Structure 1
Amino acid sequence: MNAEWSSSVVERARLHAALGEPARLAIVDRLLLGDVSPGELGAELGLSSNLLAHHLKLLEHAGLIDRSRSEGDHRRIYLRLRAEALTRLVPTGQRQAPRVVFVCTHNSARSQLAAALWKRRSRVPAACAGTQPASRVHPRTVTTAKAHGLSLARARTYHIEEVLRPDDLLVAVCDTAHESLTANEHLATADRLHWSVPDPAPLDTDAAFTGALRELTDRVDRLAPAVHHPGDPR
């Protein structure tokens, strides 16, 4: 047998080795659905900080996860999955929700785009809202949506308190909204996920908004197969 394996075989073996431990596989399963801070992840999975740091180091070394600094609280670090390394690992049946609500700070860009994408991808109803809604949807959000076959011409902004219903799955698509929801005693217990998608509004360019749409498309495509309406046959 040839002792010099191909680079693809070596790479696949390295990924399998990194995932060949229950805690690390559970970490990847969680990150498939949304970003999370190390502290939040340790609390969810019941892992001590030392053990979690060990597993994260191995997953990071294998190229399976990245770290990013919060745009809101700059002291926070969020973990995100490098989904391209796991193209065959698709989440299924991991959430039940009668509706998905996408939330960002101003409800003028990311949450609007995410809800529009979701409605095209899933039969589960969707809505969007903001923690500090702007007076209108950002004009470049509307033009970006139109350029990609989505209609936001009649969209308006809402406060999360106007929209939220019991049993909604909340998806915070910005760091600041996620941190605001976490600090809100009423909303902290809601079923929530977090996507750390950079805000395109400060740059206010077509490229920035198209980039946000591209990332949201990828994340919606990953989450949609995992969310089922409670009334749907399984």
Structure 2
Amino acid sequence: MNVEWTPELRARAQVHAALGEPARLAIVDRLVLGDASPTELGRDLGLPGNLLAHHLKLLEQAGVVERSRSEGDRRRTYLRLRPASLAGLQPSGTLSAPRVVFVCTRNSARSQLAAAIWAGQSPVPAASAGTRPAARIHPRATAVARARGLSLARARTSLVEEVLREDDLVVAVCDNAHEELGTRAAGRLHWSVPDPARVDTDSAFDHAFHDLADRIHRLTPAVHLPGEQTDD
């Protein structure tokens, strides 16, 4: 019997094959909640460089992960999950935190939008801050939030040192902030969301909003207040 497999079926099979190995599945689990550089992945998962490179190559070929160049240190690259390739994937395990703090460089767009989106989806309180905060919220960030029923009218920019508490779950939503935080907030997550202010168009801010909303949709089921009962 001659069977013609469709390209879609072959692509799905390639994804299943890529995930059918513990190390590659562990890489995907790590990238579900946040982006990471190859060095960070190797450190977190205890994988030597050559073995990590092999697994990443297969995941990239299957369209599960992709790379982007850091907007901060251009020598760095970050790996991010392509959610569409893993429809229905949910974070494994849970995180306990009394508050989530979104951090970017200027605290004028991405971190403010992330905190506003989060507030509408999770009972865990949210705040935002910047490593080098601007004087005001970017007008396009205010506009894109308003267009989606969110308000940044009362939002103000803040310096990260004035906001962070020891038990916060920190999410760095830009490369610069992730790199500038260094050893602070060591257990933080990192989302490599491009800076829409660099392009400064409505389209760029729309793209940033959708990127953040998608990531928050994946993260909220995994984050709970301390002592809160979960179904896990």
Length-normalised TM-score, structure 2: 0.95
Letter in 2 for 1:173: V
SS at match of 1:55: helix
SS at match of 1:35: coil
Q: 2:229 maps to which residue?
A: 233
Give 1:213 shift: 0.6
Give 1:139 shift: 1.6
SS at match of 1:218: helix
- Bigger shift: 89-98 or 131-140? 89-98
CA distance in 2 between partners of 1:49 and 1:92 (Å): 25
Aligned-residue CA RMSD (Å):
1.3
Q: 2:16 maps to which residue?
A: 16
Give 1:152 shift: 0.4
CA distance in 1 between partners of 2:179 and 2:71 (Å): 11
Give 1:119 shift: 0.5
Q: 1:212 maps to which residue?
A: 208
Instruction: Quote the sequence identity (%).
Output: 67
- Bigger shift: 206-215 or 111-120? 206-215
Partners of 1:92 and 1:225 within 8 A in 2: no
Structure 1: gaps of 5 or more residues: none
CA distance in 2 between partners of 1:93 and 1:36 (Å): 19
Length-normalised TM-score, structure 1: 0.94
The C-alpha deviation readout for 1:65-102, integer Å capped at 9, x for no partner, is 10100011111000011110001211143322111100
Letter in 1 for 2:80: R
- Bigger shift: 197-206 or 111-120? 197-206
Give 1:137 shift: 1.0
Q: 2:85 maps to which residue?
A: 85
Letter in 2 for 1:94: T
Q: 1:222 maps to which residue?
A: 218
CA distance in 1 between partners of 2:49 and 2:41 (Å): 10
Please, which of 192, 195, 199 is the counterpart of residue 196 of structure 1? Answer: 192
Structure 2: gaps of 5 or more residues: none
CA distance in 1 between partners of 2:48 and 2:222 (Å): 28
SS at match of 1:121: coil
Give 1:155 shift: 0.6
Give 1:195 shift: 0.5
SS at match of 1:50: helix
Give 1:7 shift: 3.3
CA distance in 1 between partners of 2:2 and 2:125 (Å): 54
Letter in 2 for 1:17: A
Letter in 2 for 1:199: D
Give 1:146 shift: 0.7
Give 1:193 shift: 0.5
Aligned length: 230
Letter in 2 for 1:21: E
Q: 2:35 maps to which residue?
A: 35
CA distance in 2 between partners of 1:113 and 1:106 (Å): 12
- Bigger shift: 86-95 or 208-217? 86-95
CA distance in 1 between partners of 2:74 and 2:84 (Å): 27
CA distance in 1 between partners of 2:63 and 2:27 (Å): 14
Q: 2:132 maps to which residue?
A: 132
CA distance in 2 between partners of 1:19 and 1:3 (Å): 25
